[in-house]
Amino acid sequence: MRPDESTPSRTTRGSKREEIVRAALRVFGRDGYADASVDEIAKEAGVAKPTIYTHFGDKAGLFTEVIADASHRSNTRVNDVIDSIDVRPKNLSSELERLGNALVGCLLDDDGVAVMRLQLAERHRFPELLDEIRNSNRDRTIDRLAGKLAQMAAIGLLRLADPDRAARHLMALVGDDLIIRSGFGSVRLDPETVIAPVRAGVETFLEAFGAPTEPS
């Protein structure tokens, strides 16, 4: 074994670790945890097998890092979308539809699909890990969205007794049906396919939480 294969230097440690994590995500997503071999992950990443053990300890440690990393990237994109909401839009329906389409895009992009499918397939192996990641990410997202909806309510665009509840309803109305239609990520949805269900979800949301008339 050559020293550089087992002991990463300061300059290469970060990039090599990232390469392994990305490669492992592809292999775990394709083969599942049980059938994914460290040999195959090493081959996919272009590193020696001992390098993986040096960085992550074992396959379970690598899986933990992979799911946490993919979840973080996916959740960061979701939160960026929420942060982009215009809380004083000229057209509330259009702004919420833009939000819904962007959120669905995040949920069904490569990272979002990988996280969703691994959570479904491997929950029996890693129940505490996957529940913690799912719940913490969703709670942070709901808190962020609730804050934006509360700002809209403060200027009379929405009627909200409970912004958190409204945020959960909006996420479910624009996303849940499309996630099911996609077979939880197994079928790619055409962007045009997303528009009508998102619009219907926003209409239902505004029937429940919209102000009687939008301020001009």
**What does the pLDDT look like over 108-131, one tens digit per residue?**
887 777 888 888 888 889 888 888
| Domains of the chain from N-terminus onward | 1-57 (1.10.10.60), 70-209 (1.10.357.10)
Nearest residue to 202 (alpha-carbon basis) of 156, 157, 144:
157
Q: How far apart are CA 2 and CA 9, in angstroms?
A: 13
Q: 0.85 exceeded by the pTM?
A: no
pLDDT category, 79, cuts 50, 70, 90?
A: very high
**What does the pLDDT look like over 139-194, one tens digit per residue?**
899 999 999 999 999 999 999 999 999 999 999 999 888 787 777 676 777 777 88
Coil vs helix vs strand at 145: helix
